[in-house]
Amino acid sequence: MSTASRPSEAASNLVLVGPMGAGKSSIGRSLADRFGLRLADVDHAIESRAGASVNRIFESEGEAGFRERERVALAELLSGDGLVLATGGGAVLDAGNRALLRQRGFVVHLHASVEQQLRRLAHDRTRPLLARGDREQVLHDLARVREPLYSQVAHLRFDTNGHSEAEAAERLAQLLEIHWPIAAARSQRRVPS
């Protein structure tokens, strides 16, 4: 289910990477609430700054234009502390982004199989990369390129397959309390309800 592939670091930001449909935004929201951190979603930040949807940015500027906006947003968001950051699935494509993510955050790779992604994204028509051709083949192609990069950047890998969002968030929170010193410290300060 999970593996800690690298030693824990005391970075004060929690960064979630992984493919679309892995649960980065929803699990991130639960983790932010649990640990008293601020949630930020890179795609939402890009849309807010651009005044346009990710789809519209892809249409007008192409993927290269979007990736440049993504680099800027990541640098701005990670300049602070106390954040749970849900990245876009392709944020790891840029070597500079990967270095920044590891430098400024404790990075968790949320893994989801292509089959799980297809189920979770069955009715989602907002993903520009899924708008072209066979969705299953696109997801397999993306995984082939991106999975090694997720592994390279991650301090911890967590498999979301077979878990509800709430269940995945709870299990991941427990692992973070073991592997990420910030989570352990923030959990000790929580007052029981």
C-alpha–C-alpha distance, residues 9 and 103, integer Å: 9
Annotated binding site for substrate: 43, 67, 89, 146
C-alpha–C-alpha distance, residues 43 and 37, integer Å: 19
62-87 burial, b if ≥16 CB within 10 A, otherwise e?
Answer: eeeebbebbeebbeebbeeeebbbbb
Give me the percent of the chain exceeding a pLDDT of 90. Answer: 68
DSSP 8-state secondary structure symbol assigned to residue 162: T
Helices 181-189, 24-35: crossing angle, 10 deg rounding:
50
8 Å CB contact between 161 and 112? yes
Please report the domains of the chain, with CATH numbers, ordered by start residue.
2-189 (3.40.50.300)
State the pLDDT at residue 6.
45
Overall pTM > 0.95? no
Least confident of 1-15, 68-82, 177-191: 1-15
State the pLDDT at residue 193.
46
Annotated binding site for ATP: 21-26, 127
State the pLDDT at residue 96.
96
**Sheet arrangement for strand 156-159:** 2-4, 156-159, 106-111, 14-17, 83-86, 38-41
Annotated binding site: 21-26, 43, 67, 89, 127, 146
- Which tens digit of pLDDT belongs to each residue from 101-125? 999 999 999 999 999 988 888 777 7
**Residues ≥6 apart with Cβ < 8 Å to 126:** 53, 54, 55
Annotated binding site for Mg(2+): 25
- Which tens digit of pLDDT belongs to each residue from 7-64? 434 588 999 999 998 999 999 999 999 999 999 999 999 999 999 998 899 989 998 9
Long-range contacts of 171-179 (CB under 8 A, 24+ apart): 171/1, 171/2, 172/2, 172/27, 172/31, 172/108, 172/110, 173/30, 173/31, 173/34, 173/35, 175/2, 175/4, 176/14, 176/31, 176/35, 176/106, 176/108, 179/4, 179/8, 179/106, 179/155
C-alpha–C-alpha distance, residues 38 and 186, integer Å: 13
